[in-house]
Amino acid sequence: MERKIGDIKTILEQCDISTLDKVLDEFRTDERKGVIKLVDKYNKILGKLEVEKQRIENMREYEEKYSGLDFIGGIDEVGRGPLAGPVVTCAVVLPKGERILYVNDSKQLSEKRREELYEIIMDRAIAVGIGIESPNTIDDINILQATFKAMRQSINNLSLKPDIMLNDAVTIPGITIPQVPIIKGDTKSITIACASIVAKVTRDRMMVEYDKLYPQYDFAANKGYGSSKHIEAIREYGPCPIHRRSFIKNFL
């Protein structure tokens, strides 16, 4: 008995992506216009999935290069540029051969996608370490040195010692683990990209909490960056305890 088009639509909507191609085989010879349209739609979804899988494979270049090592760490920072809040770093070690679709530089992802990927990364990673340095530290030793300090902290907070660190652009002073600085590493290494996402979500959540303490600065929306509303608030109310004094002198 021929299936109704509405039933076919429901089947495809509820189908797991891993079995979609096999399910589509049942309907690819159906000559009804409605079914042809549905099959074409889901073929395009499969095509996009293959493109994404290949992108992820390309992001595993460095992980493959050092695949002879047991534990490959990736590290990134978030929050070097804001006027307020801490700098946050994250170090991640993934299982060998791990592939997480849609991972990318955190800045290229929507907030919803970052939150979804954060949960997946935290579930699948072998180890995750977070480093946080305060606005006071940033003012005392400058943002670059504060970032390095947070990076060392995040590596030390891992539950194991990586055999090598893949870094987003920088070489971190004061660590003995071999390092590979990669320009735009958060778009070239899946491990660095995962670190970027976890660092970003961690810091964003902190800034949402700070917004409850200092609502006049709109931290939940601007995350401490220099939006026009934020700068106006600094001029009107002055700085709050999480402002980086060395960053806001021109606005006072």
- Cβ contact 132:138 at 8 Å: no
Please tell me the CATH superfamily of domain 62-246, with its number: Ribonuclease H-like superfamily/Ribonuclease H (3.30.420.10)
Tens digits of per-residue pLDDT, 48-58? Answer: 999 999 999 99
The DSSP bridge partners found for residue 72 are 164
E strands present in the chain: 72-78, 87-93, 127-133, 164-168, 179-182
- The segment(s) of the chain belonging to CATH 3.30.420.10 are 62-246
CA–CA separation, 150 vs 134, rounded Å? Answer: 9
**Can you list the alpha helix ranges (DSSP code H) found in 59-189?**
61-65, 111-124, 135-141, 143-156
Of the candidates 74, 86, 79, 96, the residue with the CA atom closest to the CA atom of residue 187: 74
pLDDT of residue 1: 66
- Cβ contact 175:165 at 8 Å: yes
What three-state secondary structure class fits 93? strand
Tens digits of per-residue pLDDT, 78-137? Answer: 999 999 999 999 999 999 999 999 999 999 999 999 999 999 999 999 999 999 999 999
The DSSP bridge partners found for residue 243 are 84
CA–CA separation, 43 vs 49, rounded Å? Answer: 10
Q: What is the pLDDT along the chain (252 residues), one digit of tens a residue?
A: 678 888 888 989 888 877 888 889 988 888 889 989 998 999 998 999 999 999 999 999 999 999 999 999 999 999 999 999 999 999 999 999 999 999 999 999 999 999 999 999 999 999 999 999 999 999 999 999 999 999 999 999 999 999 999 999 999 999 999 999 999 999 999 999 999 999 999 999 999 999 999 999 999 999 999 999 999 999 999 999 999 999 999 887
